[in-house]
Amino acid sequence: MSSLGVGVSPGNVPVYHGSNLKVIDRRVRLAELILRCLICGLAVLSAVLIGTDTQVREFFTIRKRAKFTDMKALVFLVIANGIAAGYSLVQVLRCVLSMIKGTVLFNKPLAWAIFSGDQVMTYLTLSAVAAAVQSGLFAQFGQTELQWMKTCNLYAKFCNQVGEGVASSLLACLSMVLLSAISAYGLFRLYGDNKGKSSGRW
């Protein structure tokens, strides 16, 4: 037993035995699990809303179908959401497993992997959302200086559903920002004991 109230196992993943830290750690892990489930759900919802969105209009004799593949930014957003949902699902399973086993993360390489993964996901989704919002603004308001006409007046139903999908992605993105802070906490608190080698990687 160390002074932190944890028993150190061979795999650097100590089994947890009580104290004040237990309550805090449980709260953090619960918040993490809730956020990861939320992100998974929102990302799937967004991908489905945008991916299945379509509207057919007839202009005199011409029949035109609006679909998400008409705009590359929406394709990027659907792909980013798919990756985020898959990643979150894997992380949810890891969280549930560690909660069942009652282990605390003291494994630095794993903490680095989770931190890096969360960072990449957050930046990827944010980029995709920003690009989609920018495209959406062009479609909604046009850009008369460049003679790009607005198209949402023609495809109102299509645009509304895309808007809902983007809003869902934005919520997922905000949850990822919180999650990134949690995984940064999970990693860098391991460097807080200031015992030479631990901090030596910096």
Question: What SS3 state is found at 115?
Answer: helix
Q: Considering beta carbons, is residue 45 or 128 the nearer one to its own copies?
A: 128
What stretch of H or E contains 7? strand 6-7
CB of 97 to its own copies, least distance (A): 21
CB of 134 to its own copies, least distance (A): 4
Is the Cβ of residue 89 or residue 112 nearer to its own copies in the bound state? 112
Nearest-approach distance from CB 146 to its own copies, in angstroms: 5
Q: Beta 15-16 vs 62-67: how paired, if at all?
A: unpaired
48 vs 75 by CB, closer to its own copies = 75
Task: Kindly list the distances between the CA atom of residue 51 and the CA atoms of 43, 46, 82, in Å, as whole numbers in the listed order.
Answer: 12, 8, 11
Q: Which residues bind its own copies (CB under 8 A)?
A: 4, 20-21, 24, 27-28, 70-73, 119, 123, 126-131, 133-135, 137-139, 143, 145-149, 151, 177, 181, 184-185, 187-194, 196, 199-200, 202
Residue 125 and residue 120: Cα distance in Å, rounded? 8
Task: Give Cα 34 distance to the centre of its chain.
Answer: 12
- Shortest Å, Cβ 182 to its own copies: 8
Identify the three-state secondary structure at position 154.
coil
**Which of residues 33 and 191 has its CB atom nearest to its own copies in the complex?**
191
**C-beta of 86: minimal distance to its own copies in Å?**
22
Amino acid at 54: T
> 17 is written with which tokens?
């035995």
Q: Are 43 and 176 in contact (CB under 8 A)?
A: no
For residue 143, the 8-state DSSP code is: B
Measured from the CB atom, is 93 or 199 closer to its own copies?
199
